[in-house]
Copies of this chain bind each other. A is one copy, B any other.
């Protein structure tokens, strides 16, 4: 791990223990870390950056920020069908991140490391002019050549999604002041879904050799599915009435059907959406039974131009203004 003089103690105290003594991490005292892939496997690597004031707020719970940072990266590995094993951290501190903040942040990492079986391999700490900037590089592995692509969707495939959609986007609305007439428990459910993604790692791993194409819903269902449509050169047709909703989201949409745009366009759900051939349906039922994660068929892959459509109950194409999340 690289570091600035004066932060050695902080790194030794807070971050070196997060290596769990893994060989090749050298207690974060080396210039770099080393690792060896399992025989017959390739390494999968991804990087996500979260910025204060953009992706989270300075007064958010530091442990929660740490866990979200790790989980959004693990979700990318899940989308590839990879098993995670480690990560590197870039922590560029703003003025608000004092020692107690860092302690809570490291505690959040420690908690999730145990949960997901990963260890810290290295990183860098520094300072910014303003605002915390966190970047995490996550590493996993997958049997050689078996990483789930975005380009494999074929006409005749079904489109399947895990869990429920739209919760995180509605949770963000609540954080921004909306109430939706929900009780406290339902509001908390939606806000939790925004704050603490559940990377679908076991599901992703089980989909290796089963799904034709896969990704995680991070920017919004329609925008994300467009990546599969484009990479696979297919049309994807979704059935609006099939989109799986939590009880809280169902209640919100019953009151205001327009909010369906949050379900198809809102990001941060971190569910997996994937396509499978009809022949894989029995296997899918087994996976659903074993994992306990609801899997819902929400549409079909068709021959045609690269496009994603959402049909209503009369099979009319719905129009949405918001197809994905943007900073601009």
Contacts and interface: CB of A to CB of B under 8 A. Distances in A.
Nearest to A3: B219
Interface residues of A, number: 75
A218 interface: yes
A227 interface: yes
A29 interface: yes
A133 B130 contact: no
Interface in A208-228: 215-216, 218-220, 223, 227
A90 to B, nearest CB: 4
Interface stretch (A49-57, A168-176, A238-246, A276-284): A49-57
A43 B38 CA distance: 12
Contact of A124 (B2, B44, B79, B135): B135
A263 to B, nearest CB: 17
Contacts of A130: 128-131
Given A31-B76, A90-B90, A128 B126 contact: no
Nearest to A231: B29
A295 to B, nearest CB: 19
Contacts of A215: 31
A192 to B, nearest CB: 23
Total identical chains: 2
A288 B35 CA distance: 30
Contact of A36 (B4, B43, B55, B88): B43
Contacts of A33: 44-46
A162 to B, nearest CB: 15
A317 interface: no
A107 interface: no
A149 B46 contact: no
- Of the candidates A26, A37, A43, A231, the one having the most CB atoms from chain B within 10 angstroms of its own CB is A43
Contact of A51 (B88, B89, B126): B126
B36 A37 contact: yes
A30 B80 contact: yes
Contact of A5 (B36, B124, B135, B324): B324
Interface in A32-80: 32-37, 42-55, 76-77, 79-80
A29 B7 CA distance: 37
A325 B122 contact: no
A219 B5 contact: yes
Q: Top 9 closest A-B pairs, CB basis?
A: A32-B46, A129-B131, A130-B130, A90-B135, A31-B76, A5-B326, A53-B129, A133-B133, A31-B79
Interface of A: 2, 4-7, 24, 26, 29-37, 42-55, 76-77, 79-80, 82, 88-90, 92, 121-124, 126-131, 133, 135, 137-140, 142, 144, 147, 149-151, 215-216, 218-220, 223, 227, 231, 323-328
